[in-house]
Amino acid sequence: GDTHYYDFVLKETNFTRLCSTKSMMTVNDSFPGPVIRIHRGDRVYVNVHNEDDFGVTIHWHGVKQTRNSWSDGPDHITQCKIEPGTNFTYEVIFGNDQEGTLWWHAHSDWTRASVHGAIVVLPAEGTTYPYPEPDGEELIILGTWYVGDLNEMLEEDLSIPNITTPKSDAYTINGQLGDLVACSGSETIHRWSVDYGKTYLLRIVNAAINSELFFAISQHNLTIVGTDGTYTKPTVTSYIMIDPGQTIDVLVTANQSPSQYYMAARQFVSFDPTVTDFNNMTATAILQYRGNYTPPDIPSFPTTLPSFHDLDSALRFLPLLRSLASPEHPVNVPIDITTRMYITTEMSVVNFIFEGSEISHIAASLNNISFMDPSSDILLAYYRHIKGVYTTDFPDYPPSSYNFTGDDWPSSITKLATKVKVLNYNESVEIIFQGTNMLDEAEDHPLHLHGYTFYVVGMGRGNFNNETDPKWYNLVDPPERNTIVVPKNGWVALRFRANNPGVWLWHCHFDKHFTWGMATVFIVKNGKTPETSLLPPPAYMPPCTLPSPI
Ligand code: C2O
Ligand code: CU
């Protein structure tokens, strides 16, 4: 394959949305940022130059980074920040089975709101898509717009003893809010031009900070053909639901009367059916046919786009996906499970000391451990056998008699700690994530594992039942994902083979929940050969503490 070199220059750039101008960190002055476009089998190096005034790291979301945690990116997990005035070159190593759409984003503080972009992995040279070659393609990157400064909001969130979730001010499609939003003019809408009769590949990325989204195009069906850099069986739908971190590839045929049609993305609110005080929950863009016709005064709006409380539409969408499971793109679901874990997702309250005074703050946790950032990065501590950075006792409860979806889960035992789970090389792992209902805060949690894709073998409402639910697992063509939602008051079961040695973060892809501690780390040990072991570190890694000034 070819080798590609990219330069990402991080610096402040001014953008005006909602009649208000702000300066924010961007890559190469663009929002969304530049696209990495390669063929499967290519090599990719990205040199990140930080010309901004605060530190940042970049993560290559969904890229397996085979044996190369060093370039994975999460702050305090595999590296520390690339400080202002310095640079760091990531070697982005794809799994040899990854094809489709992935993306990259900042992985420190809440910087990813403005620092993100798409990664397109085309079929390897000399091979084709497992569907007819599309006539064209289009990227759709869904994002969040905040009028205020995210760094200030994060400070506030951490210091105020309430649930101070900053609400987004609007959603974006390719950086534009669309024309349904107050204070936007037609110059702020993204337009996609198509030719009648042609079929296009639409690559959709949810880069929003804290929101699940529905997406639909007026009068046009979507045929899902891929998710998270894997192929799926073609599935026709009139809308999709996409969680933060996920990508969905769909085919769209321009087979309606030549005109202009709205495409729209709308937030799905899982947590509180009474909430109605959201502003600007729908972002729009326009699909327009080329040719001679009189455009409508107002393009038609997708009637199939679910409303923001439509739990049924969310639950109906989730089981639609199936792996392609073809000879070229086979499914390898682990069968003889060697490590089975049961992990609950909770919201609770913890007390801790912030700048000298004790405050109680909402905590998000996995198995009641609210993940605390270690003092220096876990990867280097693991590699160099440095003690005192983390402990290896991440708890692993068996399914027990708790009614997880009732109110009797003992939330008082939530602990702040840096606990990791260690897996032997090549173990067959099954994890059941169980949503719980503490603080009346039952809500969806999109959980993401770095360094892997996993098979989603089962999903259900209510409490997981250890006797009956595994009988319904799909071990034939389960979808392969890197991010999966644990549905509100429900569970999800997944499997993968631990064949990528290194240090890998598991976390909720709602940034507020990640900040509040809904995370853990899996350390996968080396195999017996050099080819099954973590690579040595590059010559330069951004250090965790700045050298003291001379
Ligand atoms: Cu998309 Cu840990 O990230
Ligand atoms: Cu969450």
Atom of ligand 1 nearest to the CA of 245: 1
Ligand nearest to the CA of 105: 1
Which ligand 1 atom minimizes the distance to the CA of 73?
Answer: 2
Atom of ligand 1 nearest to the CA of 450: 2
DSSP state of 356: T
Q: Using a 6 Å cutoff on CB, does residue 61 contact ligand 1?
A: yes
Condensed to tens digits (0 to 9), the pLDDT of residues 136-149 reads 999 999 999 999 99
Give me the chain's average pLDDT, please.
92
Q: pLDDT for 411-442, tens place per residue?
A: 557 889 999 999 999 999 999 999 987 666 68
Q: Is the CB of 112 under 6 A from ligand 1?
A: no
Same fold, 1-130 and 339-532: yes
CATH 2.60.40.730 fits 339-532, yes or no: no
The H or E element spanning position 47 is: strand 43-50
- Pull the structure tokens for residue 250: 């769909």
Amino acid at 530: P
Query: Average of pLDDT values for 259-271?
Result: 94
109 DSSP 8-state letter:
T
Instruction: Please tell me if the CB atom of residue 40 comes closer than 6 angstroms to any atom of ligand 1.
Output: no
Ligand number, closest to the Cα atom of 436: 2
Q: Backbone dihedral region of 451: left (phi > 0), alpha (psi from -120 to 50 degrees) or beta?
A: left
What pLDDT does 168 receive?
80
What's 213's DSSP letter? E
| CA pair distance 264, 546, nearest whole angstrom | 45
Kindly state if the Cβ of 74 falls inside 6 Å of ligand 1.
yes
The CB density around residue 10, as the number of other CB atoms within 10 Å, is 25
Q: What's the confidence (pLDDT) of residue 389?
A: 95
The predicted pLDDT at position 409 comes to 53
Model ipTM? 0.98
| Domain boundaries defined on the chain | 1-130, 131-323, 339-532
Rg, Å, the chain Cα set: 22
The response to whether residue 116 sits with its C-beta less than 6 Å from ligand 1 reads no
DSSP type of residue 342: E
pLDDT at 406: 64
Q: Is the CB of 481 under 6 A from ligand 1?
A: no
* Residue 450 Cβ < 6 Å to ligand 1: yes
Rounded-to-integer distance, Cα 248 and Cα 232, Å: 10
C-alpha closest to that of 212 among 286, 255, 265: 265
Q: Which CATH architecture has domain 131-323?
A: Sandwich (2.60)
Q: How far apart are CA 482 and CA 446, in angstroms?
A: 10
As a whole number, mean pLDDT of residues 6-14 equals 97
Whether the pLDDT of residue 512 is over 70: the answer is yes
Lowest mean pLDDT among 103-107, 393-397, 445-449: 393-397
Higher-confidence residue of 363 and 85: namely 85
Q: What fold characterizes domain 1-130?
A: Immunoglobulin-like (2.60.40)
CA of 66 to the centre of ligand 1 (A): 16
Predicted local distance difference test score (pLDDT) of residue 184: 66
**Cα 206 → chain centroid:** 7
